[in-house]
Structure 1
Amino acid sequence: MTRVGFYVVQAADQTRRLHVAARLADKAFQRGHRIFINADNEDQARTLDTLLWEFRPGSFLPHGLPGEPGSELIAIGWGEEPGGHDDLLINLQRVIPSFFSRFHRVAEVVTQDPETLAASRASWRFYQSRGYELEKHDLTGV
């Protein structure tokens, strides 16, 4: 069954959400996972694409938008089906994508702005009512 982790940032800045997603992707990639990042929209996906190129000067995260080279390991989409990915889903949308349950793990990134908090609380209740294993991670200094 899918395990769901909520990664809670103590800031309202939406840029922090992208940095947390990049950090999660980096950590998961170093552990051998394949990742699908579900961005809110195409603009956010392209911003995240740029961020992953610059994220850590000493590392390289092979990634791409759907169909691009590198997307086999880390794909950045915005609502479309994740292709062959089923390992880790990093969800940046404020809704739960219909394909979430095919993944072994889901990471929901939570910031302190009212819209994200309300959506995250609704997502927690959704997952909890269906019996998914939930984890909460409070992130400091992010």
Structure 2
Amino acid sequence: MAEVLFYHLETRPLEAVMPLLLEKTLERGWRAVIEVGSRERAEALDAHLWTYRDDSFLAHGMAGEDADAHQPILITTESDNTNGAAVRFFADGAVPQSGEGYTRLVYLFSGHDPDAVAAARLAWKTLKGSNTLTYWQQDANGRWENKAQA
């Protein structure tokens, strides 16, 4: 049974939130895989993780390289887990279907996109019962509030 965290982005965009969540993931000693909905979005996220902060970066790779198995963070558009990640992030059109094989799933979606909100509601229903679910929403200051659990 995986722990599934739904992050409803309201005030801070994915680019501000994702690096912080990835840092916390690595601090716990976990590897991560990030699944996004398109190659273009994967490439944009790849560039962002190298430059998101002047004094730091997150070591990672794009799926499909020889070193995939050694990457602490791997960005992909596919459903595989070639780096043996314990945590799988979903963003920009990628939607979790099952928590099997992971300690934690993290689903980030924009509250400003009605289609993304609808997909999140459907994912909640699909994953409920076979996983532990927690729904987090940003307040006006960008802080996370736990709004629901199942």
Q: Would you call these one fold, judging by a TM-score over 0.5?
A: yes
SS for the counterpart of 2:61 is coil
Say yes or no: does 1:111 pair with 2:110.
Answer: yes
- Residue 45 (structure 1) aligned to one of 42, 46, 52: 42
Superposed CA RMSD? 2.2
Q: Deviations over 1:25-83 (max 9, x none)?
A: 12212332200000111100000000101112222311010126576200000124121
**How many residues matched?**
137
Q: Give the greater-gyration-radius structure (CA).
A: 2
Q: How does 1:120-131 map to 2 (within 5 A)?
A: 120-128=120-128, 130-131=129-130
SS for the counterpart of 1:101 is coil
Name the structure with the higher strand share: 2
Change in Cα spacing, 1:114 to 1:41, as seen in structure 2 (3 Å) is: same
The aligned counterpart of 1:88 is 87
Q: Is the contact between residue 19 and residue 49 of structure 2 (CA under 8 Å) also seen in structure 1?
A: yes
TM-score normalised per structure 2: 0.80
* Distance in structure 2 (CA, Å) of the matches to 1:72 and 1:97: 24
Percent of residue pairs identical? 25
Extract unaligned runs of 5+ from structure 2.
143-150
TM-score normalised per structure 1: 0.84
Say yes or no: does 1:4 pair with 2:4.
Answer: yes
- Equivalent position amino acid for 2:121 in 1: R
Deviation, structure 1 residue 102: 1.1
Name the structure with the higher helix share: 1
The aligned counterpart of 1:31 is 28
Extract unaligned runs of 5+ from structure 1.
none
The aligned counterpart of 2:146 is none
